[in-house]
Amino acid sequence: MSQFDFEIIHRSLSYLFFEGMRFTLTLTLLSALGGVILGTLLAMARMAGGPVLAACAAGYVNLVRPLPLVLVIFWFYFLVPYLGQWLTGASRPIHVGGFASALITFIVFEAAYFSEIMRAGIGSIPRGQAAAATALGLTYRQSMRYVILPQVFRIMLPVLLTQTIVLFQDTSLVYVLSITDFLGAASKIAQRDGRLVEMYSFAALVYFIMSFTASQGVRTLRARVAVPR
Amino acid sequence: MRLIPLALAALFLALPAKAADLTGTLQKIKETGTITMGVRESSVPFSYLDDQQKPVGYAIDICYQVVDAVKKALSMPDLKVLTVPVLSSNRIPLMANGTIDLECGSTTNNVERQKQVAFTNTHYLTASKFVAKAAAHLTTIDALKGKTVVSTAGSTNIVQLNKANADRNLGITVVAAKDHAEAFLMVETDRAAAFVMDDVILASFIASAKDPAAYAIGDEAFSLAEPYGIMLRRDDAPFKALVDKATADFYTSTAGKANYAKWFQAPIPPKGLNLNTPMSKGLMGAYAHPSDNADPASYDK
Amino acid sequence: MPTRPTTRTRPATTSNGVGYHWNWGIFWEMSPEGTGTYLDMIVQGLRMTLITAALAWVIAFIVGSAIGVLRTLPGRMAPLAASAWIELFRNMPLLVQLFLWYFVFPEILPAAWGIWLKQLPAAAFLTAVIGIGFFMSARVAVQVASGIEALPQGQRAAATALGLTPAQTYRYVLLPMAYRIVLPPLTSELLNTVKNTSVALTIGLAELTARARAVQEFSFQVFEAFTAATLAYLVINLLATMAARWLEARVRVPGYGRA
């Protein structure tokens, strides 16, 4: 093997970070946001929706969770144009770019996981609070919006963030679609210049530093946000 | 035979281009104001990314001729061209589900695929062969016995490799790579003993390798020289007629031959590589008399 | 060619040339690989997924238990080493770890060993087993350690008072109870191991998702192929969950743990 070439990393830094890492972080943040929103709705449907709605939400979660993300990525890559057609009532499958396709996939996939977190969170709030909110004349939506959910987000914030770190790592799987995320950018340069050792080691190091720092941050946060009881 | 699509195209071109009168892909193009080309990232010199990550190549230039014809036919001078990177493994579903309208690369036209998609006139002819490290001295397919051999997922080549493996009982471990670059890399790093692909693609990989002398293409081919065509959606006669006419006009013109020379007989980006591949006799025939025939034997005259 | 009115009913979208042609009979057709039907391809993939996941789980369970025990040992060095292991394998995406094992590891070995390793016919399989095994070991370690920590302090003290060595204490007192406590999360880690084998398709492992994709590539029937794989994963999940429930009931210590 030839010498480890630091120069190649140095030369490709801007491509790796401005193209690749920007894609990875945008995808991570938007997917987490969308996943939490959809996941919260699923959790509420399961806990307080009618029997049909609850069964649908439970069925959805139980369908998605046993599936590998890679398979779901393939599913949606081909399915999303048809779904778009169906949703918008268009006369043909709509064009969906790589980013949008990946974003929809991750929101749909992660929502199943976020909904379990939110369900545990809602379940941990003493029932008396919901009863008190009702007694005060709040509707279900109001009691969720002003009483229950703010506490759930506070209690569950560390867990939600930990799941987001997992999501950050999982976004690397868009590699299977040849999308230029951080790993995709690294592998394109690795293949073009035959520098696999350098590029993959560097990618591993960057992922490690970012995930490790973030999870240490979550650990510190965990101590701070505990709701005094 | 060629007269019918031409007549259809003439008839079609005479009609006013109102979206309501159009069908299929042309209607889609008119309504959305865009045409989407599926491009490859490492099919040198057909369709690949240059230094600026811009798709370029022999098939891309052909597709731009088609785009010009579409602009004229629909009177849409401002037609927007989108490019979407595709892989061997997803190009056909992405054509079927409407993600791309033209696939501009190195896709073999065969009867099996025509059940799902359509092809316009042939733009290249190439046989399926394998590349290995020269030091390994592998020349025949039987020499691959018991070895690990890679090909690109979703290619006709991996089907031919699997078939030869089963027919001749070779006990080859077949590995499917995501794209050509990954497959060649597996030979470069000794992960696989050989890479089975169309000979023209193999030649371009060898030419751009760090040490071209380290690689050799085997003598025995897995197939006759098979036709490449620009891929279209199936059951869309008006669009196919337009594309057939545009490509036929281009291939029979001097500009068409100049386009061949530009990509196969002159230095090409990004590194100024010259493939030095004159037109084969079969392809000369296909340029003189454009044809979308999938049968390899029809070009072997 | 004159167009004839057709009697076949087709989906409305076909007028745009973008209808999807369903064909569930595809699984009984011969695949172009020449060794069986498309259904056989899915079955081969399923078998590869199960074998890879089983061996990776053996590694994850043994290594993870050892690291989990280290984390709960008294002193500073052992828990620190265990934490380092856990953080290392938890903070890199599995795909990146597989690339490190597959592309980087053989290059840093002496050349002859590297070549030998790369040319093993089962290179992708071995890489997947080891890569996924170590990746999952960090998760198993966290569960095992939390199981041990969940036990009342008195148990360790009682074992010591009875004259058990630390090894005996773990073997006969702490671990048997800790495993029972964390059986549900361990089951979900086992299922994660099965799911994670799909990532190994990136290094050429012919597991279930890869074979479903190959069916799609050869037959162009995208949705049928992925539906078959989806059903297979759902069945694996169902069977594993049922087995875990049975095991949970069987090994339950009366009067202990969840009622």
Q: Do A191 and B182 touch (CB under 8 A)?
A: yes
Q: Do A194 and B210 touch (CB under 8 A)?
A: yes
Arithmetic mean of pLDDT, B6-34: 71
| Residue C40 clears pLDDT 60, i.e. is over it | yes
Reading the block at residue B251, the tokens are: 């291939």
Residues in chain A: 229
| Residue B129 clears pLDDT 60, i.e. is over it | yes
Please indicate if any CB of chain C lies within 8 Å of the CB of A208: yes
What confidence tens digit (pLDDT) does each residue in B157-182 have? 999 999 999 999 999 999 999 889 88
Whether the bond between B45 and the residue before it is cis, its omega within 30 degrees of 0, is yes
Q: Looking at residue B257, what is its pLDDT?
A: 95
What confidence tens digit (pLDDT) does each residue in B242-256 have? 999 999 999 999 999
Which of A175-189, C2-16, C82-96: highest mean pLDDT?
Answer: C82-96
Please indicate if any CB of chain A lies within 8 Å of the CB of C14: no
Q: Do C34 and B175 touch (CB under 8 A)?
A: no
Compute the nearest-CA separation of A154 from chain C (Å): 23
Q: Looking at residue B20, what is its pLDDT?
A: 58
Q: Which one has a higher pLDDT value, B115 or B64?
A: B64
Q: Which one has a higher pLDDT value, B19 or B37?
A: B37
Q: Do C93 and A69 touch (CB under 8 A)?
A: no
pLDDT band (50, 70, 90) for residue B213 = very high
Chain B positions touching C17 (Cβ under 8 A) are: 23-25, 233-236, 239
Compute the nearest-CA separation of C117 from chain B (Å): 9
Q: Do C92 and A169 touch (CB under 8 A)?
A: yes
Residue B228, CA atoms < 13 Å, CB-side half-sphere: 24
What amino acid occupies position B53? Q
Chain A positions touching C107 (Cβ under 8 A) are: 1, 196-197
Which of C 94-123 lie inside 8 A of B, CB atoms? 103, 107, 115, 118-119, 121, 123
Nearest CB to B28; choose among A92, A96, A97: A92
User: In terms of CA atoms, which chain B residue is nearest residue A74?
Assistant: B90
Q: Do C107 and A201 touch (CB under 8 A)?
A: no
Among A48, A56, A51, which Cα is nearest to A139's? A48
pLDDT band (50, 70, 90) for residue B3 = low
Which of C 106-125 lie inside 8 A of A, CB atoms? 107-108, 111, 114
Reading the block at residue B109, the tokens are: 């036209």
Q: Looking at residue C129, what is its pLDDT?
A: 98
In whole angstroms, what is the distance from residue C138 CA to residue C82 CA? 9
The 3-state secondary structure of chain C reads CCCCCCCCCCCHHHHHCCCCCCCHHHHHCECCCCCCEHHHHHHHHHHHHHHHHHHHHHHHHHHHHHHHHHHHCCCCHHHHHHHHHHHHHHCCCHHHHHHHHHHHHHHHCCHHHHHHHHCCCCHHHHHHHHHHHHHHHHHHHHHHHHHHHHCCHHHHHHHHHCCCCHHHHHHHHHHHHHHHHCHHHHHHHHHHHHHHHHHHHHHCCCCHHHHHHHHHHHHCCHHHHHHHHHHHHHHHHHHHHHHHHHHHHHHCCCCCCCC
pLDDT band (50, 70, 90) for residue B8 = low
Question: Which ipTM was obtained for this model?
Answer: 0.91
pLDDT band (50, 70, 90) for residue B9 = low
Chain A positions touching C202 (Cβ under 8 A) are: 175-176
Please indicate if any CB of chain A lies within 8 Å of the CB of C137: no
Compute the nearest-CA separation of C48 from chain A (Å): 15
Q: Looking at residue C12, what is its pLDDT?
A: 39
User: C96: Cβ–Cβ under 8 A, 6 or more apart, which residues?
Assistant: A172, A183, A200, A203, A204, A207
Q: Which domains does chain B have, with CATH numbers?
A: 3-126+226-299 (3.40.190.10), 128-217 (3.40.190.10)
Q: Looking at residue B255, what is its pLDDT?
A: 96
| Residue C4 clears pLDDT 50, i.e. is over it | no
Please indicate if any CB of chain C lies within 8 Å of the CB of A212: yes
Please indicate if any CB of chain A lies within 8 Å of the CB of C242: no
User: What is the domain partition of chain A in residue ranges?
Assistant: 21-225
Q: Which domains does chain C have, with CATH numbers?
A: 36-251 (1.10.3720.10)
Nearest CB to B153; choose among C21, C118, C217: C217
Stretch (H or E) spanning A47: helix A22-48
Could you read off the pLDDT tens digit of each residue along chain A, which spans 229 residues?
A: 457 888 888 888 989 999 999 999 999 999 999 999 999 999 999 998 789 999 999 999 999 999 999 999 999 988 888 888 888 877 777 777 788 989 999 999 999 999 999 999 999 999 899 899 999 999 988 999 999 999 999 889 999 999 999 999 999 999 998 888 999 999 988 887 778 899 999 999 999 999 999 999 999 998 887 655 5
Q: Do B99 and A191 touch (CB under 8 A)?
A: no
| Residue C33 clears pLDDT 70, i.e. is over it | yes
User: In terms of CA atoms, which chain B residue is nearest residue C118?
Assistant: B191
Nearest CB to A212; choose among C87, C107, C233: C87
- Indicate the average pLDDT of chain B: 90
pLDDT band (50, 70, 90) for residue C254 = confident
User: In terms of CA atoms, which chain B residue is nearest residue A95?
Assistant: B99
pLDDT band (50, 70, 90) for residue C11 = very low
Arithmetic mean of pLDDT, B227-240: 95
Compute the nearest-CA separation of C256 from chain A (Å): 23
| Residue C165 clears pLDDT 70, i.e. is over it | yes
Q: Which one has a higher pLDDT value, C161 or B21?
A: C161
How many Cβ pairs closer than 8 A exist between chain B and C?
Answer: 83
Nearest CB to B179; choose among A93, A178, A196: A178
Q: Looking at residue C22, what is its pLDDT?
A: 86
Arithmetic mean of pLDDT, B207-218: 91
Please indicate if any CB of chain B lies within 8 Å of the CB of A11: no
CATH top-level class of A21-225: mainly alpha
| Residue C6 clears pLDDT 60, i.e. is over it | no
Q: Looking at residue C16, what is its pLDDT?
A: 41
Please indicate if any CB of chain B lies within 8 Å of the CB of A14: no
